[in-house]
Amino acid sequence: MEELALYGGPKVKTTPFSTGKRFGEPELEQVRQALEQNTLFYWFGSKVKEFNKKFADMYGVPYCVAASSGTAAIHVALGACGVTEGDEVITSPITDMGSVIGILYQNAVPIFADVDPNTYNITPESIEERITDKTKAILVVHLAGNPADMDAIMEIAKKHNIKVIEDCAQAYLTYYKGRLCGTIGDVGCFSLNDFKHISAGDGGMLIMKDEELYKIAFRFADKNYNRMGKTTEEIRSIEHIAPNYRMSELVGAVGIAQLDRLDFICGTRNRWGEMLSDGIKDLPGVTPHLVREGNKSSYWFYMYRVDPKTLKVDLQTYVDALRAEGLPAQKGYIHAPVYAYGLFQNKTAYLGTHAPFDSHYYGREVSYPKGLCPVAEQVLDEAIKFTFTEFYSEQDMKDIIAIITKVTNYFTKG
Ligand SMILES: *Cc1c(COP(=O)(O)O)cnc(C)c1O
């Protein structure tokens, strides 16, 4: 067997991974047009409106609201769904802070459901266990572009009369049984931050089918102003608080051009991800990133597991060996489940108080001990994560498979 690069042997990957340009003439042209409007305010200009329309059409839904980030989009969705102090929102412990920020800003309490060991998405069983009379919404994260089990989740929501918000920040053009993720729940939320499939620097989008929900969300993203009103009095008919999460015309302009790239980006990532899973699935102890039958992932990242009992070294050495061969892999995704963060351990969402955890509207004890979501904890300890992009060549993907094959075989043979 060939010696590992980690121990002085030859490296598998001898060429750099292919890269490409994410922005070009179409973005420049859109931005130029935006500037020529002589306004960058979404309500006066046409770029954000056009972006909304194009986004909604792409997803086949009637309504779309633009926001300043994915975090903002999720906050708007929660606000529009009426999430408030005293409520609980069930979400995933393996996610970005952007999933829980809006929950806390609405003074609601995040409740974490456990995940599937191989899709890494929250399971219907775990959600059901966590439902209480305080549960107002389920915020489903389609982690890494891989759909969660939506049929069962929608059924639970229907049974308990609660809302479902889909966090699609990592899940553009992700399909669940032939349906686009983001169109299945009450609201779908997307991110345009620079690390996502498409980027406008920062930005967020919400899609929905219900007109009433749309009207509330539209206002909630813009200080609760009623822009559609005719008089100042109508416009400023304010009954509730809402943040300013407006998208500027510059962001909308870039977004319009970026949408044209999504088919290529998600299509290629899907192809590379499936090729990768196919290439590593028979290796000893390896479980590829599981995408269930009939679903389609857009692979924002790739995360697989090796059974620690099959592996004859500790996981860190295994990861070091992958890296030495030329694959920048890492252990886990985030270092710990979200509930392990100091914010939840010390209940210090806000400086100087324990709100919303000790709210009298809530009136319950909540705690976030180790073991709360044992599968999530294990996944983050045992999974191996890396990314690939739509610019990678087929040879790049073959090299990744060769690296995983070499290192896994090396450390699993006796
Ligand atoms: C990126 C991300 C967010 C937040 O999006 P921002 O645009 O960075 O605010 C929320 N949820 C998930 C799952 C994400 O990956």
169 within ligand 1 shell (Cβ under 6 A): yes
pLDDT number for residue 414: 65
In Å, how far from its chain's centre is CA 35?
31
SS3 178: coil
Asked if 252 and 260 touch (Cβ cutoff 8 Å), the reply is no
- pLDDT tens, position by position, 254-313: 999 999 999 999 999 999 999 999 999 999 999 999 999 999 999 999 999 999 999 999
pLDDT at residue 385 tops 70: yes
98 Cβ inside 6 Å of ligand 1? yes
> How confident is the model over 182-205, as pLDDT tens digits?
999 999 999 999 999 999 999 999
Q: Is the CB of 166 under 6 A from ligand 1?
A: no
Could you tell me if 91 and 99 are in contact, meaning their C-beta atoms sit under 8 angstroms apart? yes
Q: Looking at the CA of residue 196, tell me the nearest atom of ligand 1.
A: 1
Q: Count the neighbouring beta carbons within 10 Å of the beta carbon of residue 59.
A: 22
User: For 99-112, what is each residue's pLDDT tens digit?
Assistant: 999 999 999 999 99
Q: Determine whether the shortest distance from the Cβ of 170 to ligand 1 is under 6 A.
A: yes
Average pLDDT, the chain: 97
Give the type of residue at 262: L
pLDDT tens, residue by residue, 146-156: 999 999 999 99
State the distance from the centre of ligand 1 to the C-alpha of 85, rounded, in angstroms.
23
- Pocket test of ligand 1: the residue of 166, 191, 299, 338 to mutate, having most ligand atoms within 8 Å of its CB, is 191
Is the Cβ atom of 92 under 6 angstroms away from ligand 1?
A: no
Give the pair of three-digit tokens for residue 365: 């004890």
Whether the CB-CB separation of 99 and 375 falls below 8 Å is answered with no
The whole-model pTM stands at: 0.98
Q: How far apart are CA 91 and CA 237, in angstroms?
A: 33
Radius of gyration of the chain (CA): 22
List the Cα angle 349/351/355 in 5-degree steps: 45
